[in-house]
Amino acid sequence: MEENVAIDPKDAQDNKVMGILAYLGILILIPIFAAKESRFARYHANQGLILIIAAIALQIAVSILNVILLAISWKLVAITSLFSAAVGIACFVFVIIGIINAAKGEMKELPFIGKYRILK
């Protein structure tokens, strides 16, 4: 796992906003299409895209688990709420980490999911 990727300081400075946008939901489309030439923006767009995909997959898994637990007993609603909240909080923390890295001009991988690549 790469901890910190070598970057061009001018590229990072010029594209910090694009890097930050990459972690803000649908706004990820802006750096994907508007900053194709920037290695820094593409790196953060990839991290943001992986995060969105992971968040959707986790929410689907938690929803399925919620249905199963609620089918067993309605009294398990507290557990299902905790699962949903934990996923939401974890995703929010990853968004904050990504935004901080982009704002600092760094290309650090997000924990657990940052090693995967979709965008080149």
Model confidence pLDDT, tens digit, residues 25-83 = 999 999 999 999 999 999 999 999 999 999 999 999 999 988 898 899 888 888 888 98
Residue 113 placed within a domain? no
Q: How confident is the model at residue 92 (pLDDT cuts 50, 70, 90)?
A: very high
**Rounded Cα distance, 35 and 71, in Å:** 47
Domain count, the chain: 1
> Residue 1: is its pLDDT beyond 60?
no
Residue 21 placed within a domain? yes
Both tokens assigned to 25: 């939901």
Residue 117 placed within a domain? no
Residue 119 placed within a domain? no
Which residues constitute the domain of residue 17?
9-103
Residue 115 placed within a domain? no
For 1, 28, 45, 47, 57, the CA distances from 24, given in Å and listed in that order, are 24, 6, 10, 11, 17
